[in-house]
Amino acid sequence: MALDSLKSEGFKQVGTRPDRPDGFDKVTGRAKFGADATAPGMLHAAIVRSPHAHARITRIDTSKAEALTGVKGVVTRADFATGLKGENWNILENVMAGDTALYDGHAVAAVAATSPLIARDAAKLIEVEYEILPHVTDVDEAMAEGAPVIREGAADKSVPPGLHPNVVRYHESGHGDVDKGFAEADLVIEDHFRTEATHQGYIEPHACLATLGGDGKGELWCCTQGHWNVQKICSALLGLETSQLRVTASEIGGGFGGKTTVFIEPVALALSRKTNKPVKLVMSRSEVFRATGPTSSTSMDVKIGMKKDGTITAAQGVFRLQGGAFPGAPCEFTAMCAFAPYALKNVHQVGYDVIANRPKQAAYRAPGSPMAAFAVESVIDELCGQLGLDPIETRLKNASKRGTKASFGPTFDQIGLVETLEAAKAHPHYSAPLKPGQGRGISCGFWFNHGGETAVSLALSEDGTAQLAVGTPDIGGSRASMALMAAEELGIPYENIRVTIADTATLGYNEVSHGSRVTYASGLATIEAARDAVKKLCARAAAKWGIPEDAVKWENGCAVPSGPNAGDFDPLPIDQITKRMGATGGPIVGHFEATPEGAGVSFATHIVDAEVDPETGKTSVVRYTVVQDAGKAIHPTYVEGQFQGGAAQGIGWALNEEYIYGEDGRLQNAVFLDYRIPVASDLPMIDTVIVEVPNPGHPYGVRGVGETSICPPLAAIANAVSAAAGVRLHELPMSPPRILTALEKQRDG
């Protein structure tokens, strides 16, 4: 995309750290989250869920529930659209089971009643008869001969013949000749790795308030990362015209990718249509664990060849991802990210998307990439160890740079991997002495980042302040960054800008807040919308002064003549122009709509020190440093927050978080007590270093930062733990029993 102008220095506001505009509302409790909405005559809903991993639904009897006083309506699959195809069908099938319950927690019916307690009681009165079918939850077992088939015909054309029907998508990429490369190596290491599914673990459970009339017009309030997507999917699932459903996004208590799709919203709408009342639906934590998207579990094989001097001669990976009962596990991302940090002559990667009797996976921060890094960076660490090489020097030697042909195909533009490695090497953490029982781990990580459809509108008020409407829900302090960028362009104070997440009726389509795209794409659109408004402001000044429009420029919030030849006029401040907007041509609104495609890729290097108790297998992360390329940090505090958040979630994923299934295929730990997310006291202070290698695709050089930060932690922690324990760990989470078992195996030779 051609940019009007690239700005790389002289920032007045960008790069400062003002308080976030939503901060006051959040600390005072005034912010309205998903469950905070109410409506007159509102009903409350509850969902009936399958207790079985895989079962045919033979009968649903709702009569007892419907007879209960206070119950106003029940819906089953019969209350949704028919004839859907592709991903819409998958989503509907996940939102409300058809003939078969596909996992423990799969929704089979829902009820609306006058109180939450009555709804819960009524849900217990809905009788569902099941014929239990054989189930499978493990990725390797699901691909093996004889595994129960989740659904015939689910595979697409990418899958080569001869594979189990549970393999539904296949990816293969790379270049060069890996066999030749391995032959050139002084040392080749091949190893097997596994990771368990983890949940995004957002603190706010899904919640919505839906109103839908018999006239097909609806209103939906919900907690989501992308309300246009909700609008589109819900309209399809309920057979509505898209424009007739207006969706408003609430404040969001975390999403991390897990709120990029729908779970309860279509159900609430169906109940509202049936009862002709507003319907509120709020998930419990157990429902969130059992029925919303965790990430994929994986089984991976990685083989890398290295010369004695550290040059990687060839790399190869096979990545099998289990993504629940529907296609969509991001196997291609895992494969494509795996070797992206390295400039390789010979590289080959394969990905399998495998279905099993688990909830439909959803995106989780850089979907697929952290697991790949775990496997690849563990093997590199092992190679460095055996060849006596420094882990950072070795990575520097092989690092991708501008002009490198990436392992997944394209050629990299300006990127910052080398800079993150240099900064990590220079950081005092890297040379700090370790105590006995401690180990240090290093890892790089990569994420693509994304642009996506974006629309922004910036309306000036008569007093010279500005209302900025964006369509990307704020999941990481983005309103502060938007206000900074608009303030920078308009030359007015940060506080004079009010940023609103507009509803679907107010702006054109905005893609979900995902792919680390918000500060990049909505930011780019904000800058362009502000420049559009500035152009209009300059035109008003030109008209007032009677000089050509191009003889006026914008400086420090004022229109000024562009040079001595333009005439001698006093600067005209923004509020002097906006005060007379009505009489000088009407409202001044800047806007911008596009699908920006220059989201620069992003790399990070993490350094971790871990301490392992050899008697109990318990790991403490004692020091952690994140070094990441942000392109340009608009609001450094929130960039650092993203860095720290990725590390914190990575620590949980690496050490203790996991989906635990019983023999019966039921989820054993659907509560925070047993799904062991780290608590504050489990985390060290997480140090951050912001590297800024500008992204040529953004007016200020911004790269997305939200996802790359979770790519290195699994590997960096695994490398630290392996160094501390003196034994290589191949499976996540590295829970205490697993570490003790590894130590014992090593002792027994």
Partner 1 sequence: MQYHKPENFEDAVAIAAQAQGLTRFLAGGTDVLVQLRADIAVPDTLVDVKGIGGVKDITRESDGGWRIGIAVSGAEMTEHPDLGRDWPGVVEATDLIGSTQIQGRATMTGNLCNGSPAADAVPAMVAVGMSVSVTGPDGTRRVPVEEIPAGPGRTSLAKGEMISALHIPPRGAAGGDAYLRFIPRTEMDIAVVGCAVNLRLDGDTVAEARVALGAVAPTVLLVADAADALVGTTLDDKALDALAEAASAACKPIDDKRGTVKFRTHVAGVLARRAAKIAYDRARSTRT
What one-letter code names the amino acid at 639?
V
State the nearest-atom distance from the C-beta of 360 to partner 1, in Å: 23
3-state secondary structure of 209: strand
Location of structure tokens 């952690």? 624
Positions 96 through 125 that interact with partner 1 (CB under 8 A): 120
- Cα pseudo-dihedral 4, 7, 12, 18, rounded to 10: 90
Shortest gap between Cβ of 606 and partner 1 (angstroms)?
Answer: 21
Q: Which region among 290-298, 435-443, 488-496, 655-663 touches partner 1 (by CB under 8 A)?
A: 655-663
Q: Which stretch binds partner 1 (CB under 8 A): 24-32, 641-649, 671-679, 700-708?
A: 671-679
- Please name the residue that has the structure tokens 């007892």: 64
Q: How far is the CB of 671 from partner 1 (least distance, A)?
A: 8
Residue pair 489/534 in contact (Cβ under 8 Å)? The answer is yes
For residue 294, give both structure tokens.
């965790």
Binding mask 616-645 for partner 1 (x = CB under 8 A): xxx---------------------------
Closest approach, Cβ 663 to partner 1, in A, equals 11
Nearer to partner 1, 345 or 618 (CB): 618
Among 102, 283, 740, 742, binds partner 1 (CB under 8 A): 740
* CA proximity to 677, closest of 283, 256, 102, 264: 256
Listed ranges 215-223, 457-465, 468-476, 668-676: which one lies at the site for partner 1 (CB under 8 A): 668-676
Q: Which of 341, 395, 328 is nearest to 372 (CA)?
A: 341
Contact status: 6 vs partner 1 (CB under 8 A): no
Strand pairing class (107-113; 43-49): antiparallel
**368 scored as a contact of partner 1 (CB under 8 A):** no
DSSP 435: P
The site that binds partner 1 (CB under 8 A) totals a number of residues, namely 24
Q: Does 438 bind partner 1 (CB under 8 A)?
A: no
Give the interface segment with partner 1, choosing from 43-51, 151-159, 581-589, 615-623 (CB under 8 A).
Answer: 615-623
- Work out whether strand 100-101 and strand 55-61 pair parallel, antiparallel, or are unpaired: antiparallel
Q: Which of 144, 660, 726, 746 binds partner 1 (CB under 8 A)?
A: 660
Query: Helix H segments across 567-669?
Result: 574-578, 636-655
**In this chain, which of 674, 726, 745, 746 binds partner 1, going by CB under 8 A?**
674
**Measured in whole angstroms, how far is the alpha carbon of residue 359 from the centre of its chain?**
18
137 forms part of the interface with partner 1 (CB under 8 A): no
| CA 209 to each of CA 41, 45, 218: distance values in angstroms, whole numbers, following the listed order | 12, 10, 11
Among 2, 27, 583, 673, binds partner 1 (CB under 8 A): 673
312-322 vs 347-354, strand pairing mode: parallel
Residue 415 near residue 402 (C-beta atoms within 8 A): yes
**344 near 176, Cβ under 8 Å?**
yes
474's tokens? 């704020």
Closer Cβ to partner 1, 288 or 424, answer by number: 288
| Residue nearer to partner 1 on the CB measure, 105 or 617 | 617
678 binds partner 1 (CB under 8 A): yes
| Helical packing angle, 369-387 and 713-725, nearest 10° | 40
Residue 746 lies near partner 1 (rule: CB under 8 A): no
What's the closest the beta carbon of residue 654 comes to partner 1, in angstroms? Answer: 12
List Cβ neighbours of 727 (8 Å cut-off, separation of 6 or more).
Answer: 742, 743, 745, 746
31 or 683: whose CB is closer to partner 1?
683
Residue with tokens 């220079």: 426
Separation of first and last alpha carbons in the chain: 59
Contacts of 64 (CB under 8 A, 6+ apart): 125, 126, 127
8 A C-beta contact, residue 598 and residue 696: yes
Question: Binding string to partner 1 for residues 283 to 312, with x set by CB under 8 A, is what?
Answer: ---x--------------------------
- Does 437 contact partner 1 by CB under 8 A? no
By CB under 8 A, name the one of 8, 38, 668, 746 that touches partner 1. Answer: 668
Smallest CA-to-CA distance from 263 within 165, 360, 351 is with: 360
Q: Among 623, 261, 268, 210, which residue's Cα sits nearest to residue 427?
A: 623
Least distance CB 731 / partner 1 (angstroms): 14
CB nearer to partner 1: pick between 596 and 617: 617
Q: Tell me which of 98, 148, 573, 736 binds partner 1, using CB under 8 A.
A: 736
Asked if 426 touches partner 1 (CB under 8 A), the answer is no
Contact 724, 383 (CB under 8 A): no
Query: Does 656 contact partner 1 by CB under 8 A?
Result: yes
Alpha-carbon distance 410 to 272, whole Å?
48
Question: With binding defined as CB under 8 A, does residue 685 bind partner 1?
Answer: no
The DSSP letter of residue 494 is: G
Contact predicate 693/423, CB 8 Å: no
Interacting stretch for partner 1, rule CB under 8 A, among 36-44, 69-77, 108-116, 669-677?
A: 669-677
Select 63 or 668, whichever has its Cβ closest to partner 1. Answer: 668
Q: Is 682 in the site for partner 1 (CB under 8 A)?
A: yes
Among 655, 689, 693, 729, binds partner 1 (CB under 8 A): 655
Residue with tokens 């909505």: 522
**Contact indicator for 395, 312 with CB cutoff of 8 Å:** no
Binds partner 1 (CB under 8 A): choice among 241, 615, 663, 748: 615
Contact status: 713 vs partner 1 (CB under 8 A): no
For residue 725, the minimal CB distance to partner 1 (Å) is 15
Nearer to partner 1, 104 or 332 (CB): 104
Q: How far is the CB of 24 from partner 1 (least distance, A)?
A: 25
Pick one of 462, 597, 737, 746: the residue that binds partner 1 (CB under 8 A).
737
DSSP secondary structure string for all residues of 15-46: T--PPPTTHHHHHHT-S--GGG---TT-EEEE
**Site stretch for partner 1 (CB under 8 A), options 34-42, 71-79, 177-185, 674-682:** 674-682
Contact range with partner 1 by CB under 8 A, out of 303-311, 400-408, 556-564, 614-622: 614-622
Q: Which residues bind partner 1 (CB under 8 A)?
A: 120, 286, 615-618, 655-656, 660, 668-669, 671-674, 676, 678-679, 681-682, 735-737, 740
